[in-house]
């Protein structure tokens, strides 16, 4: 075999071994890997009482997700103050202050007498 062919073959073999050893190429993570779940928690306030909900933001991505922004219009009227260490609210947009890590969701509570339509607007993988 020619030297060029041997070099090319060795390069391809090395690339294949690297691919196998690292478990293959991981697909890129994006905002679709971030999940938002909400469920009833309790009631707050006196009369009228508002339902208190727990919001859980998680990810299936192996990389932490940072700069997570969720559309959360309606939370401005929450009787329960949002946890300022977890989330910041501006003009109907919730910005999570911590990265979302697989297996460790970001959780906070809110109150609302009308349904809130949460939608992930942005999330950036940090690998």
Please write the tens of the pLDDT for every residue from 80-117: 888 999 999 999 999 999 999 999 999 999 888 777 88
Pick the range with the lowest mean pLDDT from 15-24, 71-80, 87-96. Answer: 15-24
- Confidence band (pLDDT; 50, 70, 90) for 17? very low
Name residue, tokens 């009787």: 79
Q: Name the class of domain 31-125.
A: mainly beta
Q: CA dihedral defined by 16, 21, 27, 32, rounded to 10 degrees?
A: 170
**Section 43-55 average pLDDT:** 76
CB within 8 Å of 76: residues ≥ 6 apart: 89, 92
Name the strands in the sheet holding 106-111, side by side, starting at the edge strand that comes first in the sequence: 34-44, 50-59, 106-111
Q: How far apart are CA 67 and CA 57, in angstroms?
A: 13
pLDDT at 46: 58
DSSP state of 34: E
Which residue, among 102, 101, 71, 103, has the nearest Cα to 87 in the 3D structure? 71
- What is the pTM assigned to this prediction? 0.72
Domain residue ranges of the chain, discontinuous segments joined by +: 31-125
pLDDT at 107: 93
Pick the range with the lowest mean pLDDT from 1-10, 35-44, 61-70, 88-97. Answer: 1-10
**Do 42 and 50 form a contact (C-beta atoms < 8 A)?**
no
């Amino acid at each position: 075999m020619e030297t060029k062919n041997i070099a090319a073959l060795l390069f391809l073999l090395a690339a294949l071994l690297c691919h196998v050893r690292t478990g293959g190429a991981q697909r890129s993570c994006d905002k679709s890997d971030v999940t938002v779940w909400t469920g009833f928690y309790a009631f707050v306030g006196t009369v009228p009482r508002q339902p208190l909900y727990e919001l859980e933001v998680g990810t299936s991505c192996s990389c932490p997700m940072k700069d997570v922004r969720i559309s959360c219009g309606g939370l401005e009227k929450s009787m329960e103050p949002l946890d300022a260490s977890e989330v910041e609210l501006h003009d109907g947009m919730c910005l999570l202050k911590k990265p979302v890590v697989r297996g460790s969701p970001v959780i906070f509570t809110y109150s609302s007498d009308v349904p809130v339509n949460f939608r992930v607007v942005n999330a950036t993988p940090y690998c």
